[in-house]
């Protein structure tokens, strides 16, 4: 009986000790536990809020871009850039909705179109700055921005930089027609600084790798032109 009576308090003591420890842990780390739960809730709610906000931003930026697109089609580039008082211009749309991390697809597209508009107005320095800020998930559109920087450098007679940009554009592009076109422009840039061997190598590559494309036809003509000077 004594042994049995002795054993019971020990078991109760162990049980109470465990409960006390758990209670102590809960009290001691209460704030940390609450903070962790709140953080998880906030992350879930924050992600949901961010996604919904991005969707709303895309809808709005897409709508604004559609309103200004007709001015681009008509070649009214100043209005396309600055707006007409009723519709926001490309500059405002890009400033509001473009960006590598928080930008919307339509906002980033507006940024590319903004650079194109500046280029069309022969504002090459401004266009170049904008082209360098373009960030779009689509590789061909990113390549178009790189080619745009090449066009700016070419127009500024900075032909070595133009050739480099065109080659980067060709490497980025997925479309074979675009690849051939950009490489052909790079070859023209090398011609301008009398690097005819590099130009010929590019033209030969285009003709071999992208037969039947407009770029290949351009490359063939250019290769005939420089063949007597190699």
Instruction: For residue 70, report the phi and psi dihedrals to the nearest 5 degrees.
Output: -60, -30
Regarding the domain delimited by 138-230, which CATH topology (the fold level of the hierarchy) does it fall under? 1.25.40
Distance CA 71, CA 89 (A): 10
Q: What is the pLDDT of residue 23?
A: 47
Token pair belonging to 181: 């076109």
Q: What is the pLDDT of residue 8?
A: 43
Give Cβ neighbours of residue 13 (< 8 Å, ≥ 6 apart).
none
- The confidence band for 83, taking pLDDT boundaries of 50, 70 and 90, is very high
Q: What secondary structure letter does DSSP report for 213?
A: S
Provide the residue ranges of all domains of the chain, joining segments of one domain with +.
12-123, 138-230
Distance CA 165, CA 132 (A): 11
Q: Name which of 73, 56, 117, 75 is nearest 92 in CA terms.
A: 117
Q: What is the pLDDT of residue 121?
A: 97
Distance CA 17, CA 29 (A): 18
Q: What is the pLDDT of residue 10?
A: 40
Distance CA 79, CA 101 (A): 28
Among 17-26, 61-70, 147-156, the range scoring the smallest mean pLDDT is 17-26
Distances (CA, A) of 83 to 29, 70, 93, 120, 134: 57, 11, 10, 16, 20
Higher pLDDT, 55 or 160: 160
- The confidence band for 54, taking pLDDT boundaries of 50, 70 and 90, is low
Q: Which residue has the tokens 């590019």?
A: 202
Give Cβ neighbours of residue 26 (< 8 Å, ≥ 6 apart).
33
pLDDT digits (tens, 9 = 90+) for 199-223: 999 999 999 999 999 999 999 999 9
- The confidence band for 58, taking pLDDT boundaries of 50, 70 and 90, is confident
Among 20-24, 59-63, 202-206, the range scoring the smallest mean pLDDT is 20-24
């Amino acid at each position: 009986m004594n042994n049995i009576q002795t054993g019971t308090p020990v078991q109760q003591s162990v049980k109470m000790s465990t409960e006390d420890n758990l209670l102590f842990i809960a009290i001691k780390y209460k704030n940390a536990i609450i903070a962790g739960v709140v953080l998880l809730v906030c992350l879930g709610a924050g992600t949901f809020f961010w996604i919904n906000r991005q969707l709303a931003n895309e809808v709005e930026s897409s709508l604004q871009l559609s309103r200004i697109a007709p001015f681009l089609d008509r070649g009214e580039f100043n209005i396309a850039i600055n707006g007409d008082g009723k519709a926001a211009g490309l500059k405002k749309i890009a400033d509001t909705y473009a960006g590598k991390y928080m930008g919307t697809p339509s906002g980033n597209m507006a940024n590319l179109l903004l650079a194109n508009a500046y280029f069309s107005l022969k504002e090459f320095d401004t266009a170049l700055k904008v082209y360098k800020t373009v960030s779009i998930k689509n590789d061909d559109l990113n390549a178009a921005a790189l080619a745009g920087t090449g066009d700016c450098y070419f127009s500024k007679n900075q032909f070595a930089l133009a050739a480099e940009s065109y080659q980067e554009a060709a490497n980025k592009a997925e479309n074979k027609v675009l690849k051939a076109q950009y490489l052909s422009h790079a070859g023209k840039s090398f011609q301008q600084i009398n690097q005819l061997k590099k130009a010929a190598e590019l033209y030969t590559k285009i003709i071999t790798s992208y037969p039947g494309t407009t770029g290949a036809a351009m490359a063939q003509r250019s290769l005939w032109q420089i063949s007597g000077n190699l």
